[in-house]
Structure 1
Amino acid sequence: MSLLAVTGADSGMKLTMLRAKNIEVVWAEYFRVGWRLTLPVLLANFTALAVLNAKTRQAKLSTWDTP
């Protein structure tokens, strides 16, 4: 039995609109605050990848140097 059948169409529509409003609020909060958190995480990831790439490249060069 669906929620609409229990509460009626009007209540179900209000519930759906309330959920949509909550999703809008969540997205608004993410765009207001989340980008401040996302940017440092992305920067840290790229830095870690660059360091790992440099270490791997150095390890490959050092193995080619030895006979």
Structure 2
Amino acid sequence: MAVPKRKMSRSNTRARRSQWKAVAPKLVKTIEGGKTVYSLPHRAKVVEDSAGTPLYMEYKGRKVADV
């Protein structure tokens, strides 16, 4: 395990930590059945019937898993 040779000052520690930033997710806009839907790219989505009951998961138009 790496061990620092000298103590790091508070200002240097905080400056290093301040570089971590949250990134907003990139959403893909699609139109399905007249409704605009935003979804995450490369993720399976849940297919529901007209009553809202989840049926299965779909990716690129193919069924990939049961719910």
TM-score by length of 2: 0.34
Q: Flag the structure with higher helix content.
A: 1
Structure with max Cα Rg: 1
- Which fold has the larger relative contact order, with Cα–Cα distance below 8 Å and residues 6 or more apart in sequence? 2
